[in-house]
């Protein structure tokens, strides 16, 4: 990568763009909402069950001008979801500034493992055991979404719920490959612990991105 481009990426004025697409938000509080997704490459959290492992290597995804990304998003929706990869590996302020300049609502899906940057209307924190969230993200998250892969994840979910702010909504979501095994356990758990809500990857049931 050229030195000039590396500097722009370091500032967040260019970002390693993996893909961008207009679809229906399938998960969490905003499920069913039309939204434009911006998937940023780069992640070192390393979840073994990640369904977008091709996002991990930022070098595979072309550095793209942040203003260009924001302007294209504005053509599709007023709700923009920035995801990854792990978007907080990069400075998100230039992107959210550009999105806000277009009058758009900014959502992020993050593991919370990096310093929070950018101006967000909605922060979905999906913590991972391999690289835990910063307290700053715990303090500001609007939504906690814990992926349930096995029974030990219920304990992890409660540990994370104890760290988020009082207004943060609590969701459990089965890991897709384990859904048939874990959903019955999750239903029972949520009925006994109704502070939690169930989240499903409804976009996969609908066969959309």
Distance set, CA 72 to CA 21, 22, 65 (Å): 10, 11, 11
- Structural contact between residues 15 and 95, judged by C-beta atoms closer than 8 angstroms: yes
The alpha carbon of 95 is separated from its chain's Cα centroid by a whole number of angstroms, namely: 15
- Structural contact between residues 12 and 93, judged by C-beta atoms closer than 8 angstroms: yes
pLDDT of residue 49: 79
- Structural contact between residues 199 and 31, judged by C-beta atoms closer than 8 angstroms: yes
pLDDT of residue 51: 80
Dihedrals phi, psi of 50, to nearest 5 degrees: -55, 135
Go through the domains of the chain in sequence order and give each one's CATH number.
3-205 (3.20.20.70)
Q: Are strands 63-65 and 14-24 parallel, antiparallel or unpaired?
A: antiparallel
Low-confidence ranges of the chain (pLDDT < 70): 1
pLDDT of residue 1: 61
Q: What is the pTM of this model?
A: 0.95
d(CA 128, CA 119) in angstroms, rounded, equals 23
Given phi > 0 = left and psi -120 to 50 = alpha, else beta, which region is 118?
Answer: left
The alpha carbon of 64 is separated from its chain's Cα centroid by a whole number of angstroms, namely: 20
pLDDT of residue 128: 95
- Closest-CA residue to 99 (of 125, 84, 81, 87): 81
Buried b (16+ CB within 10 A) or exposed e, 168-205: bbbbbbbbeebbeebeebbeebbeeeeebeebbbebee
Q: In what order do the strands lie in the sheet with 14-24?
A: 63-65, 14-24, 34-40, 79-83, 105-110, 122-125, 143-148, 169-174, 196-198
pLDDT of residue 46: 85
């Amino acid at each position: 990568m050229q030195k000039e481009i590396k500097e722009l990426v370091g500032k967040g004025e260019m970002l390693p763009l993996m893909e961008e697409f207009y679809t229906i938000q399938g998960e969490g509080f905003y499920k069913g909402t039309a939204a434009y997704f911006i998937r940023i490459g780069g992640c070192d959290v390393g979840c073994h069950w990640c369904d977008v492992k091709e996002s991990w290597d930022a070098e595979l995804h072309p550095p793209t001008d942040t203003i260009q990304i924001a302007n294209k998003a504005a053509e599709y929706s007023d709700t923009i979801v920035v995801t990854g990869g792990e978007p907080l590996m990069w400075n998100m302020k230039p992107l959210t500034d550009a999105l806000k300049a277009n009058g758009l609502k900014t959502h992020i899906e993050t593991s919370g493992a990096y310093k929070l940057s950018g101006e967000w209307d909605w922060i979905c924190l999906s913590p991972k055991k391999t690289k835990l969230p910063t307290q700053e993200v715990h303090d500001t998250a609007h939504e906690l979404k814990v992926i349930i892969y096995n029974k030990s994840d219920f304990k992890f979910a409660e540990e994370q719920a104890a760290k988020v702010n009082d207004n943060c909504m609590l969701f459990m979501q089965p890991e897709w490959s384990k859904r048939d095994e874990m959903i019955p356990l999750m239903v029972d758990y949520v009925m006994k612990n109704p502070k939690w809500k169930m989240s499903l990857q409804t976009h996969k049931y609908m066969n959309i991105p």
